């Protein structure tokens, strides 16, 4: 009897520990924020080096081999050499909001290709990092389940899970809807920052691409503010005042063209996009979603009229209009050609 009783107590303790890990661990970050908060620091700006004739370049490349497509997409806008990577540390920020497969999260093969190419371009150290949404913490588990952890490690990168790190607080003077928020010190101090968003729609934010990929750099407490505000889309743009990616490589191997962010209508779009401009690449990604005509919140409005885009333009985060964007492409087949032409038309309004 004592043995059975002891076994029941042990089982109850294990169950309690498991439930605490599953529910209390995420809730800690949702309500209390990260463990360490640094001082309020200044916001810095970066120049987009991927431009031609004062226009932001956006490449659209058809996929045969993922690694070749990523390489070509970056070469079309000027190449990794524009970033002068030799001897530098690089932080790569994929979309690991959940533990769902791509396109809910970034394709692990896009992560692998990016890390390998960064090392080939001279990077000294590459770290792949993110913080998952509240329901999918800890990030370590989400990265492992999606295959991103394995791909990054096999390519020679290190992993970072932002909820485990030191954070700093920013108060951008231009922000109107989210006055201050916390981001990982690692993001703030990154020598080179590469963003690897996906192309997908979003039930609450309309869409999730380059601008929204930075929701993954704010604390759980700040995410709670964002997700309970009617100005969520404007706040997404304002979060991007915190840091600017040096390069965005957008995963369009698959695209979610309705529903989202964790599940929805998925299409084999078979493209990789690259740019140094968050607004320019988002309007290109929105054009791809628009081409399928399945998500009224994108299909029924011009790409420049999206709330995320309008606020980002007001904040000076990138291109202001179609005149500031140049699409360059490489791919084969009528379907690819038609998609590129649709993107150009949609951006031009």
What angle is formed at CA 275 by the lines to CA 234 and CA 287, rounded to 5 degrees? 60
pTM over 0.75, yes/no: yes
Longest CA span, the chain: 83
- H or E segment and range at residue 154: helix 148-154
Distance of CA 133 to the CA centre of its chain: 13
**Which residues, listed in sequence order, are joined to residue 228 by a DSSP beta bridge?**
none
- Reported as a single tens digit per residue, the pLDDT across 55-108 is 999 999 999 999 999 999 999 999 999 999 999 999 999 999 999 999 999 999
Please name the residue ranges forming H helices in 269-330: 278-292, 296-299, 307-314
Q: Across the strands, what pairs with 184?
A: 167
Query: What is the per-residue pLDDT across 275-302, written as a single tens digit (0 to 9) for each?
Result: 999 999 999 999 999 999 999 999 999 9
pLDDT at 34: 53
d(CA 294, CA 44): 38
Tens of pLDDT, residue by residue over 162-198, are 999 999 999 999 999 999 999 999 999 999 999 999 9
Burial of residue 240 (CB within 10 Å: 0-12, 13-18, 19+) is: buried
Q: By the 8 A CB rule, do 58 and 328 touch?
A: yes
Give the torsion sign (CA, 18, 22, 27, 32): positive
- The rounded distance, in Å, linking the Cα atoms of 226 and 230 is 8
Show the tokens assigned to 128: 């792949």
Q: What is the mean pLDDT of the chain?
A: 91
| DSSP secondary structure letter of residue 135 | G
């Amino acid at each position: 009897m004592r043995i059975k009783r002891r076994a029941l107590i042990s089982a109850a303790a294990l169950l309690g520990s498991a439930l605490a890990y599953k529910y209390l661990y995420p809730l800690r970050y949702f309500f209390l924020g990260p463990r360490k908060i640094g001082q309020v620091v200044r916001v810095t700006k970066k120049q987009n080096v991927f431009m031609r004739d004062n226009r932001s370049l956006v490449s659209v490349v058809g996929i045969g081999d993922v690694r070749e497509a990523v390489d070509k997409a970056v070469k079309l806008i000027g190449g990794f050499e524009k970033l002068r990577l030799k001897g530098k540390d690089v932080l790569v920020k994929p979309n690991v909001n959940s533990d769902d497969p791509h396109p809910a999260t970034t394709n692990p093969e896009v992560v692998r290709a990016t890390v390998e190419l960064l090392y080939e371009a001279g990077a000294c150290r590459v770290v792949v990092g993110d913080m998952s949404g509240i329901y999918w913490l800890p990030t370590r588990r989400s990265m492992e389940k999606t295959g991103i952890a394995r791909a990054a490690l096999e390519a020679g990168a290190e992993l970072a899970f932002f909820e485990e790190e030191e954070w700093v607080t920013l108060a951008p003077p231009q922000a109107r809807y989210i006055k201050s928020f916390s981001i990982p010190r690692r993001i703030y101090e990154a020598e080179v920052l590469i963003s690897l968003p996906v192309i997908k729609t979003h039930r609450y934010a309309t869409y999730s691409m380059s601008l929204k990929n930075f929701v993954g750099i704010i604390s759980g407490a700040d995410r709670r503010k964002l997700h309970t505000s009617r100005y969520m889309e404007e706040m997404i743009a304002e979060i991007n005042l915190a840091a600017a990616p040096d390069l965005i490589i957008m995963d369009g191997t698959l695209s979610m063209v309705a529903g989202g962010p964790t599940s929805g209508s998925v299409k084999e779009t078979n493209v990789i996009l690259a740019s140094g401009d968050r607004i320019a690449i988002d309007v290109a990604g929105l054009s791809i979603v628009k081409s399928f005509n399945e998500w009224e919140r994108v299909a029924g409005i011009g790409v420049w009229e999206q709330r995320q885009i309008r606020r980002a333009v007001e904040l000076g985060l990138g291109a202001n209009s179609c005149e500031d964007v140049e699409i360059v492409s490489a791919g084969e087949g009528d379907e690819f050609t038609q998609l590129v032409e649709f993107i150009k038309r949609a951006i031009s309004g």
